[in-house]
Amino acid sequence: MKILISSASFGKINRDPLKILEDAGYTPILNPYGRKLEFGEFIELIKDASGLIAGTEKVTAEILEKAPLLKVISRYGVGVDNIDLEAAKKMGIIVKSTPEAPSQAVAELTLALMLDISRRTSEADRNVRNNKWTQLMGRLISGKTLGIIGLGRIGKKLVKLVQPFEMKIYAFEPYPDKDFVLSNNIILVPFHEVLKVSDIISLHLPLSDKTFHMIAKKELSLMKKDAIIINSSRGSLVDENALISALRNRTIGGAAIDTFEQEPYKGDLIGFENVLLTCHMGSAAQETRKLMEIETVNNLLDALKEVDI
């Protein structure tokens, strides 16, 4: 029985997950293109697969309809907004994900973005490489006010990482862990209040109908003129056109973005010096990827046992 691995990066740094599948009697079918699959390619590869290990590519109802043997989708990552969950449910397809494994890596990348854009290190690196020796005046993050939108696994990890910087932490979280909030001196406030008081705002919520474009023109207008917004969560949390307008009008101080509505990203944010852009690399740490791949495979095999394939 075949397991399609549509994620192009899966198994690149560690072959153990593939061996686990093989030892369990399955044949892994790797993405042969080294990129996100196009519709026709996806259809051809998935047509006789019993399981799917999916990355960030769209898994639509049209694709699922072409996979009559498919019983389980194991998402190689946290979010499942790229999968048509309603269609999967109707077809009796189990969907799993790996919410815990990437948390530390995403939190560490968020801190890296925070430091980079505040001290302008990437900008300085570009200047030096272009024979421009100019010291750039940045800002400290120590003692600043950090606003965290979403205090789940990643948001909590970020709180722990910034403790040496003695930041004042405000947070919006619909379902707060009150013990964690109290023990870490976090000030819980409404969503718009976080935007008003924070020097740095970091987004850590899943994408849903409620969170789609939750940062738009009105929300950006509430931020401090020198505030920075960081999105290492989901691209669609931020209305990109509104963000571009805010940057042009200097309504906010800057942005650091790791995830985008359209990837690979080629939009207008590339033209701003006060914007730091990375390529959806939150979980791209060797240690994390190894954990994620093993967890993804185990989730898949456990679910296949449930349906008794």
Q: What is the pLDDT along the chain (309 residues), one digit of tens a residue?
A: 999 999 998 988 889 999 999 999 999 999 999 999 999 999 999 999 999 999 989 999 999 999 999 999 999 988 899 999 999 999 999 999 998 889 999 999 999 999 999 999 999 999 999 999 999 999 999 999 999 999 999 999 999 999 999 999 999 999 999 999 999 999 999 999 999 999 999 999 999 999 999 999 999 999 999 999 999 999 999 999 999 999 999 999 999 999 999 999 999 999 999 999 999 999 999 999 999 999 999 999 999 998 865
Q: What is the location of CATH 3.40.50.720 in the chain?
A: 2-101+286-307, 103-277
Question: Which one is the CATH code of 103-277: 3.50.50.60, 2.60.40.10, 3.40.50.720, 3.40.220.10?
Answer: 3.40.50.720
213 is catalytic: no
287 is catalytic: no
The contacts of residue 132 (CB under 8 Å, 6+ apart) are none
The reported pLDDT for the residue numbered 100 is: 86
- The active-site residue out of 204, 234, 293, 295 is 234
Take residue 286 and report the two structure tokens written for it. Answer: 């060797």
Closest CA to 299 of 80, 69, 65: 80
The reported pLDDT for the residue numbered 30 is: 95
- The active-site residue out of 75, 204, 280, 289 is 280
280 is catalytic: yes
- The active-site residue out of 22, 263, 287, 306 is 263
- Look up the pTM and report it: 0.88
The reported pLDDT for the residue numbered 13 is: 85
Question: Which one is the CATH code of 2-101+286-307: 3.40.440.10, 3.40.50.720, 3.40.640.10, 3.40.50.2000?
Answer: 3.40.50.720
Take residue 218 and report the two structure tokens written for it. Answer: 């009105």
C-beta separation of 170 from 197 below 8 A = yes
